[in-house]
């Protein structure tokens, strides 16, 4: 692979994903190191691009966009829950079934790690921790802008739940459990930045397959940001996604031109 750095931008989730696909598809071997994708409005989609993405995934017999997004943020369950606490409780009850029914989820899901992280002192609800930190900070004069982390894949020992303090990270990686060099979790962390009523977010991936999971990843992250903002009385800012390596699957290469044409008609 050739070492490279590139960027993709988009006003919406859909535009940003399509532009990222184009950038990586044009790279040597259709892979890039350190792809940075910025989404200005991460809670909005373009129906035409979404339809083209759904059609491509059906053609390739891959998981639908919503299925992938649901592993990061279960939007329908959230809409039917009274608040973050109820959402976490309901998801934790469903979690064993989700892991058993879907082979790809046998090691867990990203949202499962967010609301039921296996800490030394018991499972931690990192979503509730994050929202509480934001609300506490917003009640103080001059709230700090950058102390809100959700780490999905962090090396090292897990701190006991009782020792977690304000500003601590939200983990997905579980020491002693995540021993495979491949697969879950590829999403490493989510970091949030407070900016005068806006909340920005950056997410780091080790490796990202832009066709197989990219659109669902972008959508799920945008929905997660939107949910946190609603719970804290904030507006979604920019979503930035960094991929250590980003790839466009070779099996989908000949379909990229058709995807672009369908999305831009």
Residue 127's domain is classified under what CATH number? Answer: 3.30.572
Query: Does some domain include residue 57?
Result: yes
Q: How far apart, in whole angstroms, are the C-alpha atoms of residue 58 and residue 122?
A: 40
pLDDT classification of 193: cutoffs 50, 70, 90: very high
Distances (CA, A) of 43 to 71, 93, 208, 259: 17, 27, 20, 22
Domain tally for the chain? 1
* Residue 25 phi, psi (nearest 5): -65, -30
pLDDT classification of 174: cutoffs 50, 70, 90: very low
Partners of residue 12 on adjacent β-strands: 41
Residue 137: give the domain boundaries: 6-264
**In degrees, to the nearest 5, what angle opens at C-alpha 260 toward C-alphas 19 and 58?**
105
Looking at the predicted structure, is the pLDDT value of residue 69 above 70?
yes
Q: How far apart, in whole angstroms, are the C-alpha atoms of residue 251 and residue 211?
A: 10
Q: Which of 22-26, 59-63, 68-72, 104-108 has the lowest mean pLDDT?
A: 104-108
Query: Does some domain include residue 1?
Result: no
pLDDT of 182 reads: 44
How many helices (DSSP H) and strands (DSSP E) are in the chain?
9, 8
Radius of gyration of the chain (CA): 18
Partners of residue 207 on adjacent β-strands: 245
Query: Does some domain include residue 121?
Result: yes
Distances (CA, A) of 257 to 8, 27, 247: 18, 15, 16
Looking at the predicted structure, is the pLDDT value of residue 11 above 60?
yes
């Amino acid at each position: 692979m050739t070492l490279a750095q590139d960027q993709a931008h988009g006003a919406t989730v859909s535009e940003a994903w399509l532009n990222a696909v184009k950038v990586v598809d044009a790279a040597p071997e259709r892979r890039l190191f350190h792809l940075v994708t910025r989404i200005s409005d991460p809670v909005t989609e373009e129906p035409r691009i979404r339809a083209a993405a759904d059609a491509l995934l059906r053609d390739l017999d891959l998981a639908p966009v919503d299925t992938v997004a649901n592993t990061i943020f279960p939007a329908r369950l959230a809409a039917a829950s009274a608040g973050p606490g109820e959402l976490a409780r309901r998801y934790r009850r469903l979690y064993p079934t989700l892991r058993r029914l879907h082979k790809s989820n046998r090691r867990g899901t990203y949202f499962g790690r967010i609301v039921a992280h296996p800490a030394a002192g018991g499972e931690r609800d990192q979503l509730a921790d994050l929202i509480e930190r934001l609300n506490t900070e917003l009640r103080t004069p001059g709230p700090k802008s950058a102390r809100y982390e959700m780490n999905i894949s962090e090396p090292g020992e897990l701190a006991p739940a009782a020792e977690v303090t304000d500003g601590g990270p939200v983990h997905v990686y579980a020491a002693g459990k995540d021993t495979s060099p491949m697969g879950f979790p590829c999403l490493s962390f989510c970091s949030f930045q407070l900016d005068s009523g806006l909340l920005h977010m950056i997410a780091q991936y080790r490796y990202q397959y832009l066709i197989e999971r990219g659109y669902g990843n972008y959508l799920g992250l945008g929905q997660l940001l939107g949910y946190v903002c609603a719970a804290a009385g904030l507006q979604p800012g920019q979503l930035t996604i960094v991929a250590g390596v980003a790839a466009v699957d070779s099996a989908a290469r000949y379909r990229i031109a058709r995807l672009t044409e369908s999305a831009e008609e």
